Amino acid sequence: MKDTIAARNAMLLAYSFIDDVRAMIPSTAENKLHEKFSYHAQDHLNNLSLAAKEIKKAEKLDPDAKVTVQDEKQNPFTLNLSLLKSLALYHEAYCHSALDNPKRAIKTLNQAVKVFPNNAQAWWLLGVIHTNELNRGEAIHACNKALAIYPDDILYQQALARARSITGMQRIAQSTAKGVGRTISTIKFLWWAFCTFILVSLPWSIYVYVNTPTHHETAFVIMIFDLFILFVGGLFMKAGEAVRDAVQGENRD
């Protein structure tokens, strides 16, 4: 049996959680504001999980329920459950993007536009993230979808221009940067494993040096060798990280 009033109350509560997150999204490009949002992104995701629970509750009570709410400019508009769910997914994706998890963000945005295909914001953000990931075809497709809904939106037009500007050299640079990053990570793991072995063997060398006079020279050479390996290996690691950062920096440019 439908309970429209309870469904509407659940929808209003869900929208209040979503609106709290929306209010925290920076309206400017100021880095400090974006850093602040990123710092609290997990808290925002917790709010959105509460919104998702209320949406599920409303779907069970009355899947056809609608409510009238106000947007950020205090303009009234009507929400159905499909649009409400899509808005929640859009803001969830924004949080994943802020947490530097583009794959999760893309997956969530695909769900958002599947639930409500006319969510222009979700298409726009999907295009922006694909552009950042240098997925040219997907980025152009998403931006065109946003512009099909709001053809005169300058933000969406800018996003499409950026998507079209992606070049093959940028994709090669990104692929190289990812390969260098994976290689450095593997080397770092092996290096720390080797360092552990060296640090374990160093006390043994000191023990031999102190307690076995006949092996002073051997133990001393082993200690010097261990320290030298640690020092040189550290320099190589720093150099490798510098190469990785340089490649990634060129890729961003």
Inter-axis angle of helices 41-61 and 4-24, to 10 degrees? 160
- Percentage of residues in the chain having pLDDT higher than 90: 49
Whether residue 33 has pLDDT greater than 80 = no
Encode pLDDT of 139-154 as tens digits: 999 999 999 999 999 9
Q: Do 134 and 175 meet the contact criterion of CB atoms below 8 Å apart? A: no
User: What distance separates the 2 farthest-apart alpha carbons in the chain?
Assistant: 92
Superfamily for 4-168?
Answer: Tetratricopeptide repeat domain (1.25.40.10)
DSSP H or E segment with residue 165: none
Distances (CA, A) of 94 to 19, 21, 84, 149, 190: 13, 10, 16, 20, 35
Domain residue extents for the chain: 4-168, 176-252
Residue 181 pLDDT class (50, 70, 90 cuts): low
- Split at pLDDT 50, 70, 90, the class of 252 is very low
Percentage of the chain surpassing pLDDT 70?
A: 65
Whether the model pTM is above 0.85: no
pLDDT score for 167: 75
Burial 15-53 (b: 16+ CB within 10 A, else e): bebbbbbbebeeeeeeeeeeeebeebbeebbebbebbbe
The pLDDT score that the predictor gives to residue 253 is 47
- Tokens 């530097």 correspond to 100
| pLDDT band at residue 184 using 50, 70 and 90 as cut-offs | low
Task: State whether residue 65 is helix, strand or coil.
Answer: coil
Note whether 146 and 162 are within 8 A (CB).
Answer: no
Please report which helix (H) or strand (E) contains residue 76, including its range.
strand 76-80
CA 37: distance to chain centroid?
A: 13
Q: What is the pLDDT of residues 214-248, one digit of tens each?
A: 555 666 666 676 667 667 666 666 666 665 565 55
Whole-angstrom distance between the N-terminal and C-terminal Cα of the chain?
58
The one-letter amino acid code at 15 reads Y
CA distance 99 to 94: 9
